[in-house]
Amino acid sequence: MTVLRAGELSKIYEGTISTRALDNVSFALEDGEFVGIMGPSGSGKTSLLNVLATIDEPTTGTVTIRGRNPHELGSEEMALFRRRELGFIFQHFNLLDTLTVEENIVLPLTLDGAPVARMKQSALELARRLGIEDVLGKYPREISGGQMQRTAIARAMIHRPSLVLADEPTGNLDSKASRDVMEAFTMMNVEEGTAILMVTHDAFAASFCHRVIFIKDGRFYNEIYRGENRQAFFQKIIDMMSLLGGDTDHLSQVRL
């Protein structure tokens, strides 16, 4: 079943000089797919994610999630739709410093008024699977970057959204933490069957995806599929980024 459909999306930012950030981008995401979005700086990746996440409005085109266009909803209905259908993971984690790890994880359920016992049980189950059970009572400042991002993954998944949108989730992590986070992503994608769309500049992170869509100058450029061999997929990603003008020299020694 199609979870997300982007139909001829365009985004123009008006100003002294108008900027076309997206130019008729179309693609679809199916149940259980893990898809990466890549492209050089300024290609429109962030603009695309913001439109899909309902943070920004498209100038033209449509976004449908589970058959509904959230951009046609009123503000209250859109907020509810975003909270129940979407999960968000950011480069800078966006955890609340005044809440414990457990309290951060259950935040979407808290906003929905879920029973406390259910929230605590759901948080514990997710934390065990993500390897952060031992830090549930700690605050974000007391845990590592990798643990913070796994907390963010748990928060994004706890309400079983239709779609998780991730923006550079490994951007602030070292190589070991990046691997741990991407393996956590893969586990949750497989076990929960949740569709994930991830914007990244990191070929290593992208190699965990089922396919990667490349955009350039706001337009769909190409897409490649992983298949069985992740090493070969990783190399294809590097080759494609080289064609697009990305800096990939430092990636040649990355070990998968």
Write the CA distances from 43 to 49, 215, 225, integer angstroms. 12, 6, 21
Domain ranges of the chain: 2-251
**pLDDT tens digit string along 128-145?**
999 999 999 999 999 999
Chain-centre distance for alpha carbon 209: 11
Please tell me the predicted confidence (pLDDT) of residue 195.
95
* DSSP secondary structure, 185-233, as one string: HHHHHHHH--EEEEE-S-HHHHTTSSEEEEEETTEEEEEEE-TT-HHHH
pTM: 0.90
**pLDDT tens digit string along 13-62?**
988 888 899 999 999 999 999 999 999 988 999 999 999 999 899 999 99
Q: What's the DSSP call for residue 72? A: G
Q: Per CATH, which fold does 2-251 belong to?
A: Rossmann fold (3.40.50)
Please tell me the predicted confidence (pLDDT) of residue 79.
86
**pLDDT tens digit string along 181-196?**
899 889 889 988 999 9
**Mean per-residue pLDDT, 104-123:** 91
* Tokens at 153, concatenated: 């993954």
Q: Model confidence at 252, in pLDDT bands (50, 70, 90)?
A: very low
CA dihedral 181, 183, 187, 188 (to 10 degrees): 20
